[in-house]
């Protein structure tokens, strides 16, 4: 797999990573087959994937523990990215569950990283993201704490997830940001307006999550009946009613290009994203080896100028990205 570097401090990664959230949280069957998930992670490593994305809230905690098992004996072969900031470790748990509130305070940064290091069974984290911005803590204070952790060797790089351009600039002024993570795909084009120009001006890498539109761009979802009752996508505005019907047109246009190339719609969607720049490392998620192998083939897929232009003209998805957008882009 081709490799790229993220940020001015040059974190090298394979240009397709693996999002591990669905192995332990939010999707139907998450956590039911840890052995299968570990096999998928191992196959990813064989195929040249190096960037593995998790977070303390995935489970919560279970996903980090899963990755620790998968990486036993392989720590130096992988780039571990995990996230903090949506669990408040400064207060007692409620009914045995962590308190989910935005907290970017320096105290919580330190409490969070110690927990992640323990669960991941490692003495350093390659890329440590603030998962969502905390409106109650100046970003300068949060990044100050992250900079100290870099100096101490507990983390090697830091990033921000779902941060606005002004916040990115303020953070970068304290310590260089290595990567910005946000949703980006043919289904979600929002970053092109301000976020992508900002990170490119500052030399920051970009890590798109949900590059397959939460599975929609694979062409396998045509109705809510195909989703289990506990699948969180049932409550996502883009999968509801008229929005779902309108969004099927995106897959149809992607599928038309896929047929020309004897590829899958998902491979075309990923290839389009990779063609947007050599500073982009998408992290499609899956817990199945077959899906992983399909996704990785996008690294070799070359779209013609005409195909890229036709895909760029596809209108993005109808509907909000989340039912509650309030925590985003603060």
Supply the residues annotated as catalytic: 58
Going by the DSSP 8-state scheme, the letter that residue 99 receives in this structure is: B
Neighbours of 100 (CB within 10 A): 12
**Token pair of 157, please?**
């790089």
Return the number of other C-beta atoms located less than 10 Å from residue 307's C-beta: 19
- Residue 23 and residue 99 in contact, taking contact as beta carbons nearer than 8 Å: no
C-alpha distances out from residue 321 to 28, 110, 127, 182, 189, Å: 19, 31, 25, 11, 11
- For residue 142, say if its preceding peptide bond is cis, omega within 30 degrees of 0: no
User: Where does residue 323 rank: exposed (0-12), middle (13-18), buried (19+ CB within 10 A)?
Assistant: exposed
Q: Which residues 6+ apart lie within 8 Å of 132 measured at CB? A: 85, 86, 102, 161, 162, 327, 328, 330
Q: Give 58: exposed, middle or buried? Use CB within 10 Å, 0-12, 13-18, 19+.
A: buried
The token pair at 191 is 């970053």
Phi, psi of 275 (to 5 degrees): -75, -5
Which residues have a Cβ under 8 Å from the Cβ of 286 and sit 6 or more positions away?
Answer: 18, 22, 40, 292, 295
Helix 62-70 to helix 106-120 angle (10° resolution) is: 40
The token pair that represents 260 in the structure block? 């020309």
């Amino acid at each position: 797999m081709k490799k790229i570097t993220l940020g001015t401090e040059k974190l090298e990664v394979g240009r397709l990573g693996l999002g591990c959230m669905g192995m332990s949280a939010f999707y139907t069957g998450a956590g039911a087959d840890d052995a299968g998930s570990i096999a998928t992670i191992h196959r990813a490593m064989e195929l040249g994937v190096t960037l593995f994305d998790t977070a303390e809230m995935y489970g919560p905690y279970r996903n980090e523990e899963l990755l620790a098992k998968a990486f036993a004996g392989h720590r130096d072969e992988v780039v571990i990215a995990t996230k903090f900031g949506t669990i408040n470790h400064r207060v007692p748990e409620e009914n045995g569950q962590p308190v989910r509130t935005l907290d970017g305070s320096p105290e919580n940064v330190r409490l969070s990283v110690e927990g992640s290091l323990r669960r991941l069974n490692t003495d350093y984290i390659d890329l440590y993201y603030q998962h969502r911005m905390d409106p109650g803590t100046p970003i300068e204070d949060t990044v100050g704490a992250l900079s100290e952790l870099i100096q101490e060797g507990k983390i090697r790089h830091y990033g921000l997830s779902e941060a606005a351009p002004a916040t990115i600039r303020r953070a970068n002024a304290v310590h260089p940001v290595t990567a910005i993570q946000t949703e980006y795909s043919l289904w979600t084009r929002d970053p092109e307006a301000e976020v992508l120009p900002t990170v490119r001006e500052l030399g920051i890498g970009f890590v798109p999550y949900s590059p397959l539109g939460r599975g929609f761009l694979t062409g396998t979802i045509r109705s809510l009946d195909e989703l289990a009752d506990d699948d969180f996508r049932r409550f996502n505005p883009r999968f509801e009613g008229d929005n779902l019907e309108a969004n099927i047109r995106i897959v149809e246009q992607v599928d038309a290009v896929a047929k020309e190339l004897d590829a899958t719609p998902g491979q075309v969607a990923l290839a389009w994203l990779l063609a947007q720049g050599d500073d982009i490392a998408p992290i499609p998620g899956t817990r199945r080896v077959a899906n992983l192998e399909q996704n990785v083939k996008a690294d070799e897929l070359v779209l013609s100028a005409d195909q890229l232009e036709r895909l760029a003209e596809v209108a993005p998805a109808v509907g909000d990205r989340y039912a509650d957008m309030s925590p985003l882009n603060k």
